[in-house]
Amino acid sequence: MSIENLSCNKSFGGWHKQYSHYSNTLNCAMRFAIYLPPQALSGAKVPALYWLSGLTCSDENFMQKAGAQRIAAELGMAIIAPDTSPRGDEVADNDGYDLGKGAGFYVNATQAPWNRHYQMYDYVLNELPALVESMFPVSDQRSIAGHSMGGHGALVLALRNPQRYRSVSAFSPISNPVNCPWGKKALSAYLGIDSAGWADYDASLLMRQASQCVPARVDQGEADDFLSAQLKPDTLEAAATFSGYPLELNRHEGYDHSYYFIASFIEQHLRFHARHLGQY
């Protein structure tokens, strides 16, 4: 595979790098960022945390705002952040911020015109890890995390593929998209109006019927403007109680939906993943 280095910045003894490559899964050029900790610079393979961002974001938001590099350098963990959707003039879009570019929802679209490019589920699950593990000193020991729409994506990917991930975490995830405005708009467009086909992308429904488990942590701000209408953490918590799923759900008074919230608790998330990745 051919990739192009777009930027390179030294950080806490490691390197943050941004790359572009052509995605056969998405039929367009894609961008991703990777943080390689100091332990990877000698060629030793390090485990990886895949981070999925939320609506309107790209690979840059988390890498620039979360302050994750310091702890990742200490723990010897790579961080890989893909974009949130396909991009390019030929890619279908919508005037709203919650559908189209910047709003891929980490699903495999089945409906035209979205199905030509919007296959983010397969991209994150298969193509991107294959590329990263072939081009960088990164092992196949993976964890996954995300925020909001990306929290939804991380939970869905882990719940459907427990053999692929050691752990999963999310900040303020869209926990029950089949029953919230964001989810209904996106899933009906990408998957069709028959809501029976949406269940494969709903973390609460998947967790309720899970037979295999990936250790899961979710953090939710109690001052989040989207808490009751869009995020519905109570539904996820009820699903975990029903199935006995190992979910740690932490609620934080006064915190909102922003990167101030993520930056406040990202260290705890990275240490959670490091334990399950065998880093300490």
Block residue for tokens 């991209």:
123
Alpha helices of 104-198 — where are they, by DSSP H?
Answer: 120-122, 128-135, 149-160, 181-191
Question: Helix or strand or coil: residue 238?
Answer: helix
Write the CA distances from 279 to 11, 70, 272, integer angstroms.
20, 15, 10
Q: What is the enclosing helix (H) or strand (E) of 35?
A: strand 28-36
Write the CA distances from 51 to 60, 210, 212, 229, integer angstroms.
11, 23, 22, 24
CA atoms within 13 A on the CB side of 41: 12
Distance from C-alpha of 3 to C-alpha of 1, rounded to nearest angstrom: 7
Distance from C-alpha of 220 to C-alpha of 162, rounded to nearest angstrom: 23
Q: Which residues have a catalytic role annotated? A: 148, 224, 257
